[in-house]
Structure 1
Amino acid sequence: MPWQLSTEFTFDSAHTITGYDGPCGRLHGHTYRVRLQLQSDRLRPSAHVRRAIMVADFRTLKWAKKDVSQGGLDHAYLNDLPDLGDDTTAEVIAAYLHRETLRRLRDALEPGDDGADLQLRVTLWETPDSACEYWE
């Protein structure tokens, strides 16, 4: 793949891991750090520039940084999200970020472009020294 975008951001959220025998079974929060790495073999237009000069718009990639009231994850109670529910481990959150980011990217594509060449890797840090990576 000729191009790879990388971006990092943080968001603050709370959760409980239902059934966890220990402190993580109680309500607690994290400042999650996210790295998204997106690869593509072509350039595309975006909602903000109509010429094919981007792999993707960084604004689209950083959707999760937005406040929960604006469709992001910042200041969310993660257990309230239908796609997560009681399963709010770093592994499940990383897979959710992957799935939702690709969905948002593909929804923004031009007609006839299925985005099949887009490859995404998500790294999610729950603490400064504990991270999970997810890709397909």
Structure 2
Amino acid sequence: MPWTLRTEFTFDSAHVITGYDGPCGRLHGHTYRVRMELTSGRLRPSAHVRRNIMVADFRTLKWAKKDVMAGGLDHTYLNDLPELGDDTTAEVIAAYIHRKTMERIRADLEPGDDGADLKLRVTLWETPDSSCEYWE
């Protein structure tokens, strides 16, 4: 793929891993760090510029860093998200961020563009030295 778009950001959230026998089974929080890497074989328009000059808009990739009241994950209780519920491990959160990001990217595509060449890799750090990668 000729282009790879990369961005990183953080957000703060709390969660409980229900049924976990240990500290993660109690309410606690993290400053999550996220790296998005989106590859594409061509340039496209975005919701903010309608010319073929972007892989995607950085604003689209950084949705999760927004406050929960603005549709992001910052300062949210992750267990309240219906798609996560009690399953708030780094693996499940990374897959959730991937899925929601791809939905946003696809919403920006032109009619007839299936985005088949777009490949997204999400890396989520729960702590400075513990991370999970998810991609399809």
TM-score by length of 1: 0.99
> Distance between the aligned counterparts of 2:9 and 2:32, measured in 1?
8
Distance in 1, Cα, partners of 2:60 & 2:122: 14
- The CA RMSD over aligned residues, in Å, is 0.5
Instruction: Give 1:80 shift.
Output: 0.3
Q: Counterpart amino acid of 2:119?
A: Q
1:21 aligns to what SS in structure 2?
Answer: coil
- Alignment match, 1:120: 120
Distance 1:41 1:108 in 2: 16
Cα drift, residue 123 of structure 1:
0.3
* Corresponding residue number in structure 2 for 1:19: 19
Partner AA of 2:6 in structure 1: S
SS in 1 for 2:9: strand
Alignment: residue pair count: 136
How much does 1:2 deviate? 0.4
Structure 2: runs of 5+ lacking an equivalent: none
Shift of residue 50, structure 1, vs aligned partner: 1.1
Deviation at 1:121, TM superposition (A): 0.4
In 1, distance between residues paired with 2:46 and 2:12? 28
Structure 2 CA distance for aligned equivalents of residues 76 and 116 of structure 1: 32
Q: Give structure 1 regions of 4+ aligned residues with deviation exceeding 2 angstroms.
A: none
Cα distance per residue 1:11-45 (max 9 Å; x no partner): 00000000000110000000000000000001001
The equivalent residue for 1:72 is: 72
Residues in 2 aligned to 1:50 and 1:22: alpha-carbon distance in whole angstroms: 50
Q: Distance in 2 between matches of 1:107 and 1:47?
A: 9
2:89 corresponding residue in structure 1: 89
Identical-pair percentage: 85
Deviation at 1:48, TM superposition (A): 1.2
Partner of 2:5: helix, strand, or coil?
A: strand
Question: By how many angstroms is 1:77 displaced?
Answer: 0.3
Matched letter for residue 132 of structure 1: C
- Secondary structure, counterpart of 1:105 in structure 2: helix
Q: Which amino acid aligns with 1:70?
A: A
Query: Any stretches of 5+ residues in structure 1 without a counterpart?
Result: none
Matches of residues 1-136 of structure 1 in structure 2 within 5 Å? Answer: 1-136=1-136
SS of match in other structure, 1:43: coil
Describe the SS at the equivalent of 1:101. Answer: helix
- Deviation sequence 1:52-76 (CA, Å, 0-9, x none): 0000000000000000111100000
Amino acid at match of 1:51: R
Distance in structure 2 (CA, Å) of the matches to 1:17 and 1:109: 36
